[in-house]
Amino acid sequence: MRFETLLVPLDFSPHADRALAAALELAVALGAKRVHLLHVHHPPPMPTPLPGSGPSYVEIESRLIEDAGRALQSRVDRVGKMSFALEISVEVGVPAEVICSEAEKRAADLIVMGTHGRTGVAHVLLGSVAERTVARAPCPVLTVRARDAS
């Protein structure tokens, strides 16, 4: 099995940053050609603001998407020159669905993503993007859990 294209979904948590570090190491070790960093913005339902009460929902969403793009680019800038292409994109939608769709669209050979490792009630209430991605992904998924703070 060849791993030429790695997809790394990032939510900007410590878990995601650890997964990014692991993905970069893997990309070097496996001789990957490209690593694609993806942020999925999942907009919450928002009430329509009253006229003249501040920025519109569309303006707020646009700013959040631009900020996510800058955050991805800052990670690329910190990594510097690599032996493979580093690409970025910000998409809007349900995270697991978009991750799987992007993996298929970009012909990803491997998805490397962080997991929060929630259990119990937190897992039941919040679910797991990683779990849903593993269940639906068109390619293998490597989950990386951040070390617990000690």
- How far is CA 29 from each of CA 1, 32, 63, 92, rounded to the nearest angstrom? 14, 8, 37, 31
Is the per-residue pLDDT at 67 higher than 90?
yes
pLDDT digits 0-9 by tens, 123-138: 444 458 888 999 999 9
pLDDT digits 0-9 by tens, 139-148: 999 999 866 5
Mean pLDDT value of segment 104-124: 77
Instruction: Tell me how crowded residue 80 is: count the other CB atoms within 10 A of its CB.
Output: 7
Residue ranges and CATH numbers for the domains of the chain are: 5-145 (3.40.50.620)
Instruction: Tell me how crowded residue 6 is: count the other CB atoms within 10 A of its CB.
Output: 26
d(CA 95, CA 41): 7
**Both tokens of residue 3?**
């791993």
Q: Are the beta carbons of 130 and 141 closer than 8 angstroms?
A: yes
The torsion of the CA quartet 15, 20, 25, 30, rounded to 10 degrees, works out to 120
pLDDT digits 0-9 by tens, 38-48: 999 988 776 66
Could you write out the DSSP letters of every residue in 2-66?
---EEEEE--SSHHHHHHHHHHHHHHHHHT-SEEEEEEEE-PPP-PPPPTTSSS-HHHHHHHHHH
Q: In one letter, which amino acid is 68?
A: A
pTM: 0.86
